[in-house]
Every structure is written in C-alpha cells, then in structure tokens.
Structure 1
C-alpha cells in the first residue's frame, strides 16, 4: 500500500491510497481509492501502512468511512475476525473485472 496526501481545489486534504488488493471480496478491482480527512468518520478515515482493511467504496473510488462499514482488520481481535468472516459469507468471491 502507498499513502499520499492530495488536496482539492478548495485546499481540503484527502488520502490517496494505492492498494495491494490481492484479496478482493466483491466488486470491481481498483488499485486507488480516496478518503476524506475532515475528521468526520462517516466521510473518511485515516489509513496506515502495513494494515489490512475492509474498504467499502462508491463507484468513483471514495471510501464510505466507518459509518459505511470500512474498517481496519486487527488479526488478534475477535471482533475483526467475526466481521471479516461475515463479510466473506455475505459476499462470496465472484468473478472480478480486472483493469
């Protein structure tokens, strides 16, 4: 994963996240997603290098934030394991359109 801070025309910061998404669960595969950095967890969240995430995005590649289900996966936490298992059951691997 690669993280960059980019700015829009109004000088608002966003994270540009380039993913290594080898474990795509559902949807169209994209390597780049964006996250708002306005301290509103519903619009975005901060990503950290070296962590695994379940990221829900809209069709333009913007993440939905914590309110939309995006979250870090903490391998030793029961809640994270259960969340990931539930997502995998609800969204079984299906053919993915690759760019």
Structure 2
C-alpha cells in the first residue's frame, strides 16, 4: 500500500463524515440562530433556552435521515473491507 491509497482512503473517510454529519449540524445551526434572534428580540438572556429545541430538532433529523446515514456508513465500510486485499499489496 502506497501513500496515494492511504490519502484516498482518508479523503473518502472525511467526505463520508462530512456528508453524514451535515444534516444534524445544519439543523442545529439554524435552530440556534432562530433562538438567538428570538432572545435578542425579547431580551431574554437565558443560556439554557437553546438546549431543548436543538435537542428535539436533532432527534427529529436523526429519525428522518438515520437510515440514510446508516446506509452510507455501511456502504463505505463494505467498500473498504471488500478492497482490503488490494490495500495490503
């Protein structure tokens, strides 16, 4: 296994990580921004106010995209293990 193969595997791994975590991170960012705007408008300075809505939104996104995330990770792992013979040359 040469350095190009290692770099390709690392690049694919990072792309899978970014692709599978993006829905949860984007929803958390959007909910946090909406709550921050609401806090600014109403002058409520409670730090724990964003926790519960973010948590609920992330759970909802996990319920909606969980099968796709799991399938993406399983496909990547299957591809990685099925090419194991070529990696050890």
RCO higher in structure (CA 8 A, sep ≥6): 2
Q: TM-score, normalised by structure 2?
A: 0.25
Task: Give the TM-score, by structure 1 length.
Answer: 0.23
Structure whose alpha-carbon radius of gyration is higher = 2
